[in-house]
Amino acid sequence: MDNLNVTVAGGGFEQLAPMIILRNPVLFPFSLTQISVQGEANTEAMELAMRRDRLIAVYHEISFEDNEDVQALPRFNCGSEEEALQTGILAKIVKVVNLPDGGIRVLVRSLKRIRHLRNCQINECRGSVYEARISDAVSIPQDQAAGTAKALQQMLAELPLPEEFRMAAANQGSLERLTELLADNYHFSTSEKVLLQHEKSVKQRSAMLLEWLNREVEIHHLGNQIQSEVHEAMSQPQREYFLKEQLRAIRRELGEEFGNPDIPMIEEKLQNKRLPEKWK
């Protein structure tokens, strides 16, 4: 695949940004992410961005492994037989690290969603230049946003999450920021993350997150219930073992002979039984 560029809209004008196509990770606005740059086209696109303003357009490559919902999303041919989803992310390169094995790690800050439009040519590149336009997120009323954010926070409170993540979620100043943080950091599947990246409406992203987090809460509660039932089933034998160990420790402290703590109980039961003479 030849070196690619895209045109993105911002502030009422279009600017060129080299295109990079990835399978993973899925990027979201406002995030700081490390990506692995592989392949000649991606490497040339990254180098071109470094010579310019460090801006790149990142799109997610699609394959037959993606589920039906992802397969149904708008996409475009990005060279050879490869296809990428039409919605992508405009990101700025923060740092480039060249690895000993020849690989390249790039730290990028994601800025906003962009949408592919058409192909064109520029002299600076030897291949096609793709154009894309920024997709605007649909705004929702503030009172509804506040209620949705509260519902998301309540879901998070019921899940076993690191305290740092809880604090970061609680400190988000808007529903949009909260949805992007959850989409980027929670362990949703790649297909679910792709659907969240493609969705331009904050309201729809919130609805998707509420549905999936509710599923996670139910799974968590079911796991706790199963664990409780297993613990209850095992508790009686464990309690008896613990008491026997305590009895053995007490006898040791009293200087009594070492032996099986079950023997006195057995002897007591035998004394109360009428046994044949040959057994006595």
3-class DSSP string for the chain: CCCCEEEEEECCEEEEEEEEEECCCCCCCCCEEEEEECCHHHHHHHHHHHHCCCEEEEEEEECCCCCHHHHCCCEEECCCCCEEECEEEEEEEEEEEECCCCCEEEEEEEEEEEEEEEEECCCCCCCCEEEEEECCCECCCHHHHHHHHHHHHHHHHCCCCCHHHHHHHHCCCCHHHHHHHHHHHCCCCHHHHHHHHHCCEHHHHHHHHHHHHHHHHHHHHHHHHHHHHHHHHHHHHHHHHHHHHHHHHHHHHHCCCCCCCCHHHHHHHHHCCCCCHHHC
Average pLDDT in the 212-233 region?
83
Given pLDDT bands bounded at 50, 70 and 90, which one contains residue 12?
very low
Give the DSSP letter of residue 278.
Answer: G
Cα distance between residue 86 and residue 73, in whole Å: 8
**Residues paired with residue 58 on neighbouring β-strands, in sequence order:** 20, 89
Q: Residue 261 carries which side chain, given as an amino acid letter?
A: P
Cα 90–chain centre separation: 20
pLDDT of residue 146: 81
**Residues paired with residue 92 on neighbouring β-strands, in sequence order:** 55, 109
pLDDT of residue 39: 84
pLDDT over 50 (residue 130): yes
- Please provide the average confidence, as pLDDT, over all residues in the chain: 81
**Ranges 136-140, 197-201, 237-241, 243-247, most confident:** 197-201
Given pLDDT bands bounded at 50, 70 and 90, which one contains residue 95?
very high
Higher pLDDT, 279 or 183: 183
pTM: 0.74
Higher pLDDT, 280 or 68: 68
Average pLDDT in the 33-41 region?
89
C-alpha dihedral sign at 256, 259, 261, 265: negative
Structure tokens at 80: 């050879």
Asked if residue 77 lies in contact with residue 59, where contact means CB atoms within 8 angstroms, the answer is no
pLDDT of residue 54: 93
Given pLDDT bands bounded at 50, 70 and 90, which one contains residue 11?
very low
Given pLDDT bands bounded at 50, 70 and 90, which one contains residue 1?
very low
The helix/strand count (H/E) of the chain reads as 8, 9
pLDDT over 70 (residue 175): yes
Please give the share of the chain, as a percent, with pLDDT higher than 70: 73
Higher pLDDT, 254 or 105: 105
Average pLDDT in the 148-159 region?
91
Closest by alpha carbon to 129, among 10, 15, 12? 15
pLDDT over 60 (residue 122): no
